[in-house]
Chain A
């Protein structure tokens, strides 16, 4: 069974450009999460999808970030326009819906560098 996959693994862009990160969850996982780790800080929650619906987007930093999960399968996270403070590692995680423990399985992350 394939794990959570994220693409690209690294992205280097200039301030003001647009970047789109992609996450493919484990097949059959209806929960999909985005987290971010800024250098030197803890991993922080951004957004939670249940199937194609945004369940919780309280962690999204501002309206330059747009997440989608059309069809309830893979998800994209777009940053437009990117700012220097957006640099960090973006993690995606997925889990089964309805389990109390809600074990989340993580991808390797996308390292975003905004210059």
Chain B
């Protein structure tokens, strides 16, 4: 079964600094990968998705992620953090039937002024 691993339960950056949130998938290449974000008191919102059409995927709010097969990774980046980016971020992969999602444990992004 597919799985994803997120390294780091908490990541702290200063406003304006680079954001890097890590996600590694299990050995078989998934057809899709997702990053979701949960802002305080809100539901999970889709940030971006990988669909094998392109390895560099751009999402909302200036985030992007690059699919690297050689590293089994799909790390999320943003060149310059903003205070409003403070949230919890989840990497997810669908099961073989493309129905249910398997999530990583989540990474809380803390942004300091």
Contacts and interface: CB of A to CB of B under 8 A. Distances in A.
Interface residues of A, number: 26
A7 B90 CA distance: 23
Contact of A108 (B41, B98, B100): B41
Interface residues of B, number: 22
A98 to B, nearest CB: 11
B44 A55 contact: no
Contacts of A100: 98
B43 A91 contact: yes
A109 B43 contact: yes
Interface in B78-107: 90, 94, 98-106
Interface of B: 32, 34, 36, 41-46, 49, 51, 90, 94, 98-106
Which 9 residue pairs of A and B lie closest in terms of their CB atoms, listed nearest first? A106-B44, A43-B103, A106-B43, A108-B43, A45-B100, A42-B105, A107-B43, A42-B103, A102-B98
